Structure 1
Amino acid sequence: MELSNLLLPTIPVPMIVALLAGGFFLHRIWGNSFFTSNFLQTNSKLATEGIKFHTQDTEKEEAPAQVVSKESDFPANWWTGKEIFDLERRALFSKSWLYVSHRSRFTKPGDYHSMELAGFPIFLILSRDQQVRAFHNVCRHRAYTVTKRESGSTSVLSCKYHGWSYNTYGQLVKAPQFDNVAGFNKSENGLFEVHTRVSESGFVFVNLNAGPNVPQIETGSLDAFASRNGVGAASAWVGGETLEGNFSWKLGLRLNQYLNATKLENRISQPLTTKLGRFLKNGKSEDVSFFPNASFHAIRDTELVYSLSVVPVSEEKTSIRYDLVSSQGENNSNAGDVSANLKNFLNEAIGVLEREYQGRVSGSGYVSSTSTMSPS
């Protein structure tokens, strides 16, 4: 059973064109080479296959050359269409490496964290061999949710429906009333595992592709960024929270236009000499983006790095997750202040994006200025 392949086998050409048009929109606001090398390559293949299928009677005709003189308008359902959203789930969120956590959130075997990624429920758990693994949060018996808690720690996860239980490796260890069922094999009924990788700097990624093989993940730029800012697998997670907003995840990628580490630095409480020294250096805070929906930001003079991930809940709702990682360990004196200000900034930005989204959907215009946010 492939949990992540949910779309019909054929893709209408208008949907493909819409997705590719949106790709250029996302590339424009994302500005990262990961986008061109992954999204456009993957979905150009999708588009080619789809167009061949739907135009097989006209393959021999040569299309006249066309010149694009202006940016294409998005189709009416680009922001709210269920079909477009399902295509994005298949083409992006079930095929790409997605950042989900940091290794430091798992301190002992059995520690776990559950989440939904574009409607796919999963959980991460630290196994007894000290490896972080991910599984679909779906019981193999009747597809009930294995754990409804956001986080916890246990050596055995039990489904509350009929008591099927799994260890930290996802193996089925208990199946009430199935012990004497002919042909039933516990080893064949473990949880569906999700491809998981942990970068050298401790950032955890998953890939929901149901196939046995997935492309290698490239984290060189991220690991170099983390190294320059003192963050590694042994660093400490010191805070984080998930917020939600009523707008398309595609619009959520503009968060970094309303929030950046420099604005955050100006808000946190620090000695005047620290702020003056930073001003005289006249430098910029460092950040790096990771396709398709995550970014990482260093906050100068705090020994802190924060991550932002934008994940669709539905075609009209988006979750924003931030996490703080400290290179100083758990006792970073700046962590509380930074976390509080980061949350305030995000709530302000979410409000702006919600108004912009409603303006786009209604066609009445939209807010595009940060002037509606509190001054930094």
Structure 2
Amino acid sequence: MIDFEVSAELAARRDRIREFVTDKIVPFERDPRLTRHGPNEEMRTEMVELARAAGLLTVQAPARFGGWEPNHREQAVLFEAAGWSTLGPVAMNCAAPDEGNMFILSKIANEAQIEEFLVPVIDGRQRSVFAMTEPGGAGSDPGQLKTEAVFDGSEYAINGLKWLITGADGARTWIIMAKVAPNPHGPDGPTLFLCDGNTPGIELERVMNTMDRNYVQGHGVVRFDNLRLPASAVLGDVGQAFRYAQMRLAPARLTHCMRWLGAASRAHAIAVDHARTRTAFGKPLGEHQGVGFMLADNEIALQQCRLGIWWACWTLDSGAKGRHESSMIKAYVSEELFKVADRCVQILGGMGISDETPVGMIFSDMRAFRLYDGPTEVHKYAIARQVLREP
């Protein structure tokens, strides 16, 4: 049975996060260090230190690393509060891609890898990337992976081109997906590798100009030019990258939904306040049916999204893999929350497309949500295949 009750302890933690984000992080939304490529490293570090001082850094981490170790539904409540500002998750070290990378490293990294690559990310001292997407097609369809790793018995030589690699500029913990070529020394196939971002052979060609600016240092184009890594750099087992990626993606899809629910709720609150106070044709905007109906649609959508997220989280907490459920919720929530943000822009009128409020920023940042961790259409394709397989 799904329990919809929020315990007193969880509510207190939620409110503590919301207060922190409102008081300490919202002011950074007008900081000049928030560039078109997202917050720079100096700004990120400053926000992280505020979260550390407040005892709110990396709260989702396992208890053995000093975190609160919430289950998925508890995480939904906490991450929604963090998402009240798009910078809240950055400050609290629970934003993508670091949050998903910390999750997968905690599951499959060995102790030496944990100490070198995971602990510094949990501590907020360095950032991480998940280098999978390629301009040739590998992304939603990782089967098109072209980056190759050639093994000579002691070292792997990796060559290939990646793009849309979030946070590549300045990241130190790198998870790289490459296809190990057939060789006489062991298994082959798609494999994950771990290395330091300063390793020779990793070349950041440029940072792409994109419409979102909530991820630290934006999205990079990266070339691997004879990147040489020892056999100990393999994360997990050779040939198992797709399985590990799926392990990472199901919960990561949901944490995106949690954070963006918080941002959409913020936009809605701003729109409601505007509809109460702005008048037109002799009465407040909200009393005009066209505006009132948009507010009602937002209220319905926000609650439906919240309940859907909690249901999918309950599925994971019950021990299921949740691939089908997380696909359904990612597809539904990303589309519905984008509509919420769009209606908020419409209600605000000219202010909605300006930087007088954060609604315009939330709207443009949220557009990308319909694409990353699987476009809506890819999720619907997977959902339909599952439906057709069922009796």
TM-score of the alignment, normalized to the shorter chain, above 0.5? no
| Structure with the higher helix share, 1 or 2 | 2
Q: What TM-score results when the alignment is normalised by the length of structure 1? A: 0.30
| Structure with the higher strand share, 1 or 2 | 1
Q: What TM-score results when the alignment is normalised by the length of structure 2? A: 0.29
Which structure: larger Rg? 1
